[in-house]
Structure 1
């Protein structure tokens, strides 16, 4: 699948997922403009290092602007005139949103509104944007399907991402811009975020310090390896929402070129098994600080991948037994431990 000749604007390229998606696009010959404000939510050095990997490509450039500042964001977008837009920039973190909800308004609501407004003006062939599995919230029917009603978000982070899906639907209906929103399920892998469990657990186990394990480890997650996720995102560029559903599983709106798609492996893993995979890769046993359930957490996530398979004939497949050691190898090499 070649992207040669396509100009693709990607927001959030200094981020974990954004870096991998931009890399996959560049490897296929696309010209990529990254947009990122290099926020200090976590180590900016890591973001600069990700950006340096991308900057080694002749077809990559980056604009250091905030998407919530329209006066500086709009000229960058309009000068580049993208064929396709992939909107990944966001204030991330489920737990962080409990104590710092105001930071999610600027990035996730105002910033996403600006993306929609610019898409309205310039009419890219396809706008693709990140949502989250967290939007399924209090739903208990498994697996989570894109056609499920989502009215019980458990965190403000999830609420802002769900609001972005809904804002996008209104713009797709009113202005005819085709839009696909991905619901990501627990993405992990090399270059991951320091605030995520895999990064924190690996560092702590190597250093011999305790790890906080909530609900005594009795949780299940549908983990998605980051390279698999990037592959799915790139393939979805050509799966432009139209007017005809692809099958019984399709979430295509009846009144807009708008679709929701889960990106996941569809094979949930117990948290304690995930920790065991880290222990095996590191070569040391974890010291676990077993704690009660955290506010905003859910016991289990499990995605239906039927629609993803129908759309692109591809589903993430890298098992935790392969993906976790790949992260640990990257961590050791990157930090020299």
Structure 2
């Protein structure tokens, strides 16, 4: 691993200053659980202007473009939340935004992206397909690429989430973050470990899209085919592989990556809505599913911060999940 490719604490603090006033310092919301020995707080990133943490990294990257680069416009590839982050950030700085989205992206995310003024180009479901198309359009029209996760400025922006957790909960001893391409997990883990190396940071992903866990535990970057990762309800966690820079940071700063089932994610969505009064999308509920159903894998802990990465859920899906009976798995907290 090349240490020079790992971000410093100064990089995260510079990103925090840069995004202030655009991205929100989101609150930690107490999640009441029947465990007298632990306190669990939800980092409510669904309260960002775009309903997701993705604004942090997108704006940190786009705000540093030169006037000439802004005049060319920006492009990215995303299933939805990064798309909105780029569209929002581009609008703030006055740049054109083109977004390559998969055909199976939730309609609520497509509509929100278009409403921010972005031009949308649709491709197939595979994350590799949208990346390839974005690169082709960038080469043809000169758009500046804003990668969704495999970029130091994106990682630095997402890592501001970790700085806020430590500021608001100084005695935190465990942080749970969802993981897909790795931007949020890698940035959050690095920022937290720079400040409090004793805090454990654990990534959470669906067992139906567990490429990150396989990569982390096997010590080498692996990719899962789209037909496997697209099985999960967590549309924001369907990326087929971690980014290279993200993997370097994850190997250096993350303690473990665990997986959760689809039933656990759905049950966690209900719990967050009913008990914390927060509305999560499936991807945003993944880390909460870990604290609800995998307590023994996470011990020991007393003060836990769980990142709810987003709240852009399709109304019909939310209605369906809320109408379900209790999950067949029983809460073990």
Shorter chain as normaliser: what TM range? Answer: 0.3 to 0.5
Normalized per residue, the structure richer in helix is: 2
Which one has a bigger Cα radius of gyration? 1
Given the two structures, how large is their TM-score scaled by the length of structure 1? Answer: 0.33
TM-score (normalizing by structure 2): 0.34
